[in-house]
Structure 1
Amino acid sequence: MKELFLEDNEAERLKVLDSYKVLDSLPENGFDDITKLASQICETPISLISLIDKDRQWFKSRYGIDVHETQKDHAFCTHAILNPDEVMMVPDSLKDDRFKNNPLATGAPHVVFYAGVPLVNPEGYPLGTLCVIGHEPKQLTPNQVEALKVLAKQVMNQLELRKKVNELKETATNLQESYQYLERFAVMASHDIKTPLTSIILSAQMLKARYGDLVDDKANHMLDTINHSSKKLLDYLNQMLDYSKSNTVLTKRKQEVFLTDLIQHIIKLLNIPASIRFEFHERNVYLKTSRIALEQIFINLINNAVKYSDKENGLIKLEFLEEKQFYRFKLTDNGKGIAPKEIDTVFISKMLISDEDKMQDRNAKIGLSTVKNLVESLGGEIKVNSVLNEGTTFEFTLRK
């Protein structure tokens, strides 16, 4: 067989086909009824709704045949979509130079007769065909051809309706997610600004208590710290306001992040006690992601590790692995650990809990709920493993 070349806009056609999200979908009665009716009207043993993909023709509906797809190079329908305004009729493929050596004609399913109506979307792109197939030479009557055209229009109507329904579902999901983000935003944001706000307050208190009215280099350094923390807080609030409107803002605003600098900044910001050793041995690690989101993830996780450290020699260890499609992080501590009954709900924000330190545990859960939302918004997953009185490990991924 000669190789068949489609039009120059083939890449655009494939993109349009993909937008219908129909390839490899499950059978649907509405389409199956059409192929059955087409076969009965045209008096053929086989009828197909064929969609022409990059390297195959895939059957959304098939009547009288068991296969789900065939090679694109062998597909009669590939020829049919070259002339989207015409019905392609092949009375006898074994006498047609285009198909007489085609394996679909010389072997199973023995396509001798073929008639296909291109399925053309409103923008004019042919997606595939509604076709009927016979094992013997045949001609369709004018009425049968007209009926096949009408059924092809119904296939296209079904595809358009299916696409609209999917778009509406996606829109509804996005609206629901945005509503939930807005609903949780006040609680989450109020919690997440506590860390930089605490830094501002502590710096101001230290400046006042230690130096009084004196202004020297150290005092100026404290003022610089206040200024820096205030700017970070403002930047964070602005981005969180954007995030509350749509979580996709995080995936769109990626920037290069030097991981070592980010971790050192967070350690300094949190003022980790000298009794806790922080280990991170990676160097020269650059990521491309949302810096503000990654910073908030680490602030929450590291702050919790510090908060629940109960050992004389505390340890927090960060491990990093770059994979083909993801960045993988593992943060381990040797603190109190999490009770088995709490593991399944650790990422669920609860306003009322029964633990002895209610305010501290409530804030921790709000923080971990924030972490989970941020990780998932960046296309990743997070899980936790913990042994009571031995420590906890949080492992999460971020899509590149």
Structure 2
Amino acid sequence: MDTYEYLDTPDARELRRLEAVRRYSLVDAPAEDAYDRIAFVAATIFDTPIATVSLVEQDRVWLAACQGLTGVREVGKEPGLCASVIAQDDTYVVSDAVRDPRTLEHPLVRGDLGLRFYAAAPIRTHDGYRLGTVNVIDNRPRTATPRQLKALEHLAAMVADELELRLSVIRNAAGRATPAG
């Protein structure tokens, strides 16, 4: 039984989500090629200079992969674009951040990065937790096509599959492999 199963408050749901993030032992881990490839493909599909695979932790966003930003592995959670994405099931699109009320005052929009376009799909685990995002970023406004957004959703699903493989390896290494069902 889940420690917080009897509670269905926003705080309890967030605690369960954070437990799900941590069970994969990816936050603070060295970069892995599988996630780098997914970020590269996302940037290529959208022709954007930046793409990331992110995990939203309690007070930060861990970048498991980052194309286009050198040396960045984490950013603050607030005021979070990634945190906004994991609060919903659908892809999240900002076509022109300086005109979108959700992002007008965001530091990435007003700061040196000059974010204008952002699209992200939530990474959903097989048991329903939204852990983070696969996202693309550009410093010019643009419109995403339905095909591009569908591809982003597929890439997020591929990250979830990679996470499950990672968990299986972790469990096998610890001698706690679960029987196939």
TM-score, length-normalised on structure 2? 0.88
8 A Cα contact 1:116 1:129, kept in partner:
yes
The count of residues paired between Structure 1 and Structure 2 equals 166
Match of 2:81 among 76, 82, 86: 76
2:129 to 114, 125, 129: 125
Q: Please list, as runs of the form range in 1=range in 2, the aligned pairs for 1:1-400 lying within 5 A after superposition.
A: 7-8=10-11, 9-66=13-70, 67-83=72-88, 85-171=89-175
State the 1:170 CA deviation.
Answer: 0.7
**Is the CA contact (8 Å cut-off) linking 1:74 and 1:104 kept in structure 2?**
no
Displacement, 1:110? 2.2
Contact 2:124 2:156 in 1 (8 A): no
TM-score (normalised: structure 1): 0.40
- Counterpart contact for 1:39–1:47, Cα < 8 Å: yes
Tell me which moved more, 127-136 or 93-102: 93-102
Q: Is contact 2:126–2:160 with CA below 8 Å preserved after alignment?
A: no
Bigger relative contact order, structure 1 or 2 (CA pairs below 8 A, ≥6 apart): 2
Give the ranges of 4+ consecutive aligned residues of structure 1 lying more than 6 Å apart after TM superposition. Answer: none
Question: Quick one: structure 1 residues 7 and 42, their matched pair in 2 at CA, closer, same or farther if it must change by over 3 Å?
Answer: farther
Give the C-alpha shift of residue 12 in structure 1: 1.0
Task: Give the % identical residues.
Answer: 35
State the alpha-carbon separation in 1 of the partners of residues 59 and 110 from structure 2: 21
Root-mean-square deviation over aligned CA pairs? 1.4
* C-alpha displacement of 1:97: 1.7
Q: How many Å separate the matches in 2 of 1:36 and 1:122? A: 24
Q: Flag structure 1 segments of 5+ consecutive residues without an equivalent.
A: 1-5, 173-400
User: Within 2, Cα distance between the matches of 1:156 and 1:108?
Assistant: 32
User: Which structure has the highest helix share of the two?
Assistant: 1
Distance 1:72 1:103 in 2: 12
In structure 1, the residue corresponding to 2:151 is in which secondary structure? helix
* 1:109 Cα offset (Å): 2.4
Q: Separation in 2 of the partners of 1:111 and 1:24?
A: 25
Deviation at 1:75, TM superposition (A): 2.1
